[in-house]
Amino acid sequence: MIKLKNLLTENESSINLAYQKIDELPIGKLFDDAKNIEGIFKKSQHSWNDVIVAYEKHEEQHHIKYINISDIYITQPNIQAEKVKQVITNIQSVPIINVVQFENGEMAIYDGHHRLIANWALGKQQIKVNLVQLPRYDASGIDTPNDPTM
């Protein structure tokens, strides 16, 4: 019984620390409780629309993989603090995040910015994602004549 009580106390403590990390983020735009996350994650060079199109076009090729949170690029600069806190409270039951890995290696988030920030606030280093890796374009055969007389 004491172990269970200690476990619950540790869980409450980690949730409270995660809430504090969210509250300390810079104020964002668009929402009353908006927080800016550009100081935590790198902004993708791809637009949110580019990421959506790429993910949906290749969605059937996704595979589940654990990746470092710090390797994920964001496509939106703001999150809603209260929504993130709800995710933190229910972190065990939220769906995994969808990510696209572009040809240059950049992994941009398609869906799940609030879940990403919740995992970050809870101190996770890696998370499980649905990863769609776009095929790399191989230009090695271009401009190479097949005819040896050329």
Handedness of CA 27, 74, 87, 31 (dihedral sign): positive
End-to-end CA distance of the chain: 83
Neighbours of 45 (CB within 10 A): 12
Predicted local confidence at residue 135, as pLDDT: 80
Residue 38 phi/psi, 5° resolution? -65, -20
Cα gap 109→131, rounded to integer Å: 9
Predicted local confidence at residue 12, as pLDDT: 81
Predicted local confidence at residue 30, as pLDDT: 83
Q: How large is the average pLDDT for residues 58-87?
A: 95
- Would the pLDDT of 3 be above 70? no
Predicted local confidence at residue 13, as pLDDT: 85
Cα gap 67→85, rounded to integer Å: 23
Q: 138 vs 60, which has greater pLDDT?
A: 60
Contact 108, 67 (CB under 8 A): no
Q: What is the pTM for the complete model shown?
A: 0.82
Using DSSP's 3-state secondary structure scheme, residue 78 falls into strand
Alpha helices in the chain (DSSP H): 2-23, 48-58, 81-89, 113-121
